[in-house]
């Protein structure tokens, strides 16, 4: 079995910045509430007409450039998203066409905030068996399109962006050490978009009742997030034969600073080893960890040989944790 490394990363954030002060003008909220309850100061929002595949394309180009891989060398494209361009065809197929390649496998993966780590884990299986050598994993979200801009409990949190990684076989110590995926469908009602699928197809009533927007029971999620993330970290470290103090850098899902802090405290990591971008980027679901990873790599925060822990929790419920030696 071959080891999988991340040969290059890329990310893209839409140009439009939406600050907490902007939100104060739109809904009954305050900068103080958003900052203290979530840690978010501003976020990026897509332009009119911009869809997830557009963000995915920009992030992919940068990741491929970093990995020095041409589009025609790719073997497979996985796009993790809960905001596909449309229900079908897959956004991965739309992206494939934008990248100018034909014939290679392309599919979407829906694991909400855990999607990028699910994608890397799935992609790494094809690298491990020797079936493929270059796999593009992209997490792209245009969450502003499914947010109810009248619902202050969600619209201050979610945002848009994309991150990508090119997976390749590793022939040295670098690469994925361990990974762990999990899910619990008993929490499926805690966050989601009720209408627009086969259970509740689009109708005048669903539109009138705002059922095509994301609904979230934040409190219920909050309690389960901390517990699930710590458990996922413990399992992934145990599988890799590692202890907390061997981790050099931690990239958690960026849902809430009040979730990240207790998790980081539990594993005893200094603040400077914990990657935070939610203050600038909000919660970009699957794209959060993907963008944070790329930013950390480009800012030189992750160095060759570092053991990097990435952990996510999100809708489904789903969770994932991965340790990689850079």
Active-site amino acid positions: 113, 253, 283
- The distance of closest approach from Cβ of residue 112 to ligand COA in the complex, given in angstroms and rounded to an integer, is 6
User: Who contacts 213 (Cβ-Cβ below 8 Å, separation ≥6)?
Assistant: 146, 147, 148, 151, 154, 193
3-state secondary structure of 69: coil
19 binds ligand COA (CB under 6 A): no
Which residues between 296 and 315 bind ligand COA (CB under 6 A)? 314-315
- The distance of closest approach from Cβ of residue 145 to ligand COA in the complex, given in angstroms and rounded to an integer, is 16
State the Cα angle at 4 between 180 and 304, rounded to 5°.
Answer: 100
Beta carbons of 47 and 134 less than 8 angstroms apart:
no
Report the C-alpha gap between 289 and 310 in whole angstroms. 7
- The distance of closest approach from Cβ of residue 133 to ligand COA in the complex, given in angstroms and rounded to an integer, is 33
**Residue 158 DSSP one-character state:** B
**Residue 274 DSSP one-character state:** B
DSSP string, 98-146: HHT--SSEEEEE--GGGHHHHHHHHHHHHHHHTS-S-EEEEEEEEGGGT
37 binds ligand COA (CB under 6 A): yes
Tell me, residue by residue from 42 to 81, as one string, x for binding to ligand COA by CB under 6 A and - for no binding: ----------------------------------------
Give the total of residues touching ligand COA (CB under 6 A): 23
243 binds ligand COA (CB under 6 A): no
Which residues between 107 and 166 bind ligand COA (CB under 6 A)? 113, 152-153, 156-157
Nearer Cβ to ligand COA (152/266): 152
- CA distances to 101, 116, 220 from 315, rounded to whole Å, are 32, 13, 12
Residue from 2, 24, 33, 192 in contact with ligand COA (CB under 6 A)? 33
269 binds ligand COA (CB under 6 A): no
Nearer Cβ to ligand COA (117/255): 255
Give the E-state strand segments of 143-284 in sequence order: 160-170, 175-183, 191-192, 215-216, 249-252
**Residues near ligand COA (CB under 6 A):** 29, 33-34, 37-38, 113, 152-153, 156-157, 191, 218-219, 221-222, 225, 255-256, 259, 283, 285, 314-315
């Amino acid at each position: 079995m071959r080891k999988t490394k991340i040969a290059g990363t890329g990310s893209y954030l839409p140009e439009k910045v939406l600050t907490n002060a902007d939100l104060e003008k739109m809904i009954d909220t305050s900068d103080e509430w958003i900052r203290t309850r979530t840690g978010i100061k501003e976020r990026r929002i897509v332009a009119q007409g911009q869809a997830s595949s557009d963000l995915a394309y920009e992030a992919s180009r940068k990741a491929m450039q970093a990995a020095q891989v041409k589009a025609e060398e790719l073997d497979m494209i996985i796009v993790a998203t809960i905001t596909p361009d449309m229900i079908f065809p897959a956004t991965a197929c739309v992206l494939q066409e934008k990248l100018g390649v034909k014939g290679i496998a392309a599919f979407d993966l829906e694991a909400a905030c855990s999607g990028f780590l699910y994608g890397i884990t799935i992609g790494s299986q094809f690298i491990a068996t020797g079936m493929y050598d270059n796999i593009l994993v992209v997490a792209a979200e245009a969450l502003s399109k499914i947010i109810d801009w009248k619902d202050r409990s969600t619209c201050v949190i979610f945002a848009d962006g994309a991150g990508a990684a090119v997976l390749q076989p590793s022939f040295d110590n670098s690469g994925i050490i361990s990974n762990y995926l999990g899910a619990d469908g008993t929490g499926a009602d805690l966050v989601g978009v009720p209408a627009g699928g086969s259970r509740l197809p689009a109708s005048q009533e669903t539109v009138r009742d705002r059922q095509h927007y994301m609904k979230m029971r934040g409190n219920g999620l909050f309690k389960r997030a901390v517990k699930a993330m710590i458990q996922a970290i413990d399992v992934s470290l145990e599988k890799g034969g590692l202890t907390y103090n061997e981790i050099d850098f931690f990239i958690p899902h960026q849902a809430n600073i009040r979730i990240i802090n207790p998790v980081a405290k539990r594993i005893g990591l200094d603040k400077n080893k914990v990657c935070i971008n939610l203050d600038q980027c909000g919660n970009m679901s699957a794209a959060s960890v993907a963008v944070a990873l790329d930013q950390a790599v480009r800012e030189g925060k992750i160095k060759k040989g570092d053991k990097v822990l990435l952990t996510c929790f999100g809708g489904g419920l789903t969770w994932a944790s991965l340790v990689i030696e850079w």
